[in-house]
Amino acid sequence: MENVLTLNLKNAEAFISLEETIAFAGQSVRHLETLNAGTGAGSDFLGWLTLPSDIQVQIDKIEKAAARLRSITDTTVVIGIGGSYLGARAINEALAHSFSPYLKQKQAHEILFAGQNICEDYFSELIEILDERNYSIIVISKSGTTTEPAIAFRILEQHLEKKVGKKETEQRIIAITDEQKGALRSLADANKYETFVIPDNVGGRYSVLSPVGMLPIAVSGLNIRALAEGARDMELITRKNKDITTNPALLYAAARNLLLKGGRLVEIMVGFTPKLYFFAEWWKQLYGESEGKDGRGIFPASVNFTTDLHSLGQYIQEGQRILFETVISVKNPARTVTVPASQDDSDQLNYLAGRRLSEVNHNAEDGTILAHNDGNVPVIKIEIPAIDEYYLGQMIYFLEISCGISGYMLDINPFDQPGVEAYKKNMFALLNKPGYEEVGRELRKRL
Ligand code: PA5
């Protein structure tokens, strides 16, 4: 298949040979088979494997709902946290205008995010903006009981009601949640809000190709059909393909686990464009929450170059040798800017005159990879032709399936997140939530 993302291991080969990686990937074909057979840990949560095809029947409904919100409002607040927000934000920010979301695709609809923090100032500023805006809300929570989005929704639902009245609010809120259970489901049904369902067998961080990601992405005017098509093409390449040389998901999972065995505890996702900032955030959640358990897993970090070459670049070049990098290398930018000539050349940049910024950026990328190699840092490259819906769809599925394989290589359950409960329990206790008072008293002694 042409036009497909490729995995380039050349700059990791001094650390893990290609033969070794291929052999390791060969051994772990069985993990891919376990995923497909649904016989491994967490097998109740494998619905994401076929989401690129399964979502097709809902695309018309999603587009219709998106068009409705766009026709009645100019702003949509997406409320959610973790897997219920990062995927949509990753795609939206990768394709949005960097400075004015209003210019995005020349369509005047802005997406704002709430419920992913409990910062009072952030919230107050959001309300200040919403006082002036004609807005709608998409509230997303699989459990329907997560504190951060629940607080955000309580505040914004009341704000909206006050602004446009109860009847109009009904038209402006869409809830995405469980088909039957949870507080959000009851609330949505009681208020007759339109709803979409998060499938039972899809966990939050694997849900971007369900209505969780697709609806907010469609509301911002992006092409969700192309996103699903990219994911579907990647499903064809990776899901049933046991040939290591043509299945990049097997190779990526093998390479990163071999590097871990060699003492590389931290994987840094690198982008050479700020547009991939939230994509790396999405990836960090996917891999961190999937792998970090039972005292195992690679710690996922991210940097944005060339910006961070002037901050974290020093550590990567010369600090503790526990790192490896995974660079998302983008061939073609969407726009063109060239360096102009200058008559006096006082800044001595005329050697770049007439050349595109992307040429400068690509040489910065190659130069950085080689410098980091010289500094004893292995580099894996994921190469894509461009940042658009189609290739982002490929990336999403590729990284999800690699994560499932990699989790099984680590012998953990990549589809649960028991560790997330610890902070929640303490927070409830410290807030004197009914039933938690005794724990709260004990905890306060430690502060
Ligand atoms: O990946 C996950 O399961 C989590 O990150 C959840 O998405 C996150 O905790 C939000 O949960 P919920 O959608 O139930 O509000």
Residue nearest to atom 5 of ligand 1 (CA): 82
In short, whether 213's Cβ falls inside 6 Å of ligand 1 is no
User: Helix axis angle, 437-445 relative to 421-430, nearest 10°?
Assistant: 90
Cα separation, 289 vs 319, whole angstroms: 26
Residue among 371, 385, 296, 291 at smallest CA distance from 332:
385
- Whether the CB-CB separation of 47 and 179 falls below 8 Å is answered with no
Q: Is 28 within 8 Å of 250 (Cβ atoms)?
A: yes
pLDDT at site 102: 55
According to the model, what pLDDT value does residue 27 have? 86
- Cα 189 from Cα 199, distance rounded (Å): 17
Token duo for residue 203: 């966990």
Which residue reads 């109009």 in tokens? 168
400-440 residue pLDDT tens: 999 999 999 999 999 999 999 899 999 999 999 999 999 99
**Which has the minimum average pLDDT: 55-59, 106-110, 165-169, 231-235?**
106-110
Residue 211 CB burial class (10 angstroms; 0-12, 13-18, ≥19)? buried
Indicate if 47-223 has the same CATH topology as 6-43+227-413.
yes
Q: How far is the CA of 95 from the centre of ligand 1 (A)?
A: 24
Q: Is the pLDDT of residue 101 over 80?
A: no
Is residue 100 predicted with pLDDT exceeding 80? Answer: no
Q: How far is the CA of 44 from the centre of ligand 1 (A)?
A: 16
* Helix/strand/coil for 17: coil
> Residue 239 corresponds to which amino acid?
R
Q: Rounded distance, CA 58 to CA 63, Å?
A: 9
User: Radius of gyration over alpha carbons of the chain, in Å?
Assistant: 23
Query: How far apart (Å, rounded) are the C-alpha atoms in residues 369 and 407?
Result: 27
Whether the CB-CB separation of 283 and 394 falls below 8 Å is answered with no
**Residues identified as active-site:** 289, 310, 424
Ligand 1 neighbour 289 (Cβ under 6 A): yes
- The pLDDT assigned to 3 comes to 84
pTM of the model: 0.96
Q: Among the residues of 113-267, which ranges form H helices? A: 120-132, 147-164, 166-172, 183-191, 211-219, 224-238, 248-261
In terms of Cα–Cα distance, which of 16, 15, 32 is closest to 246? 32
Give me the chain's average pLDDT, please: 95
Instruction: Tell me which residue of 282, 300, 299, 295 sits closest to 419, measured CA to CA.
Output: 295
The domain made up of 6-43+227-413 has a fold known as: Rossmann fold (3.40.50)
Q: Quickly state the pLDDT bin for 278 (edges 50, 70, 90).
A: very high
Q: Which residues of 251-261 are buried (b: 16+ CB within 10 A; e: fewer)?
A: bbbbbbbbbbe
82 alpha carbon – ligand 1 mean position (Å): 5
d(CA 181, CA 84) in angstroms, rounded, equals 17
Atom 2 (ligand 1): residue with closest C-alpha?
204
Q: Is the CB of 232 under 6 A from ligand 1?
A: no
Ligand 1 centroid–CA 170 distance in Å is: 25
Is residue 90 within 8 A of residue 167, CB to CB? The reply is: no
Q: Is 358 in the pocket of ligand 1 (CB under 6 A)?
A: no
Residue type, 29: V
pLDDT of residue 71: 95
Contact 221, 63 (CB under 8 A): no
Determine whether domain 47-223 maps to CATH 3.10.450.240.
no
Q: What is the mean pLDDT of residues 145-174?
A: 97
Q: How far is the CA of 279 from the centre of ligand 1 (A)?
A: 17
Beta-bridge mates of residue 78 = 113, 138
Q: pLDDT confidence of 107, banded at 50, 70, 90? A: low
* pLDDT at 225 (0 to 100): 98
179 contacts 22 by C-beta, under 8 angstroms: no
**Residue 56: pLDDT over 70:** yes
Q: How many CA atoms lie within 13 A of 358 on its CB side?
A: 11
Please state the domain extents for the chain: 6-43+227-413, 47-223
DSSP-assigned letter for residue 47: G
Test site for ligand 1: of 44, 48, 139, 146, most ligand atoms within 8 A of the Cβ:
146
CA torsion, ordered 329, 92, 78, 116, to nearest 10 deg? 20
Q: What is the mean pLDDT of residues 40-56?
A: 97
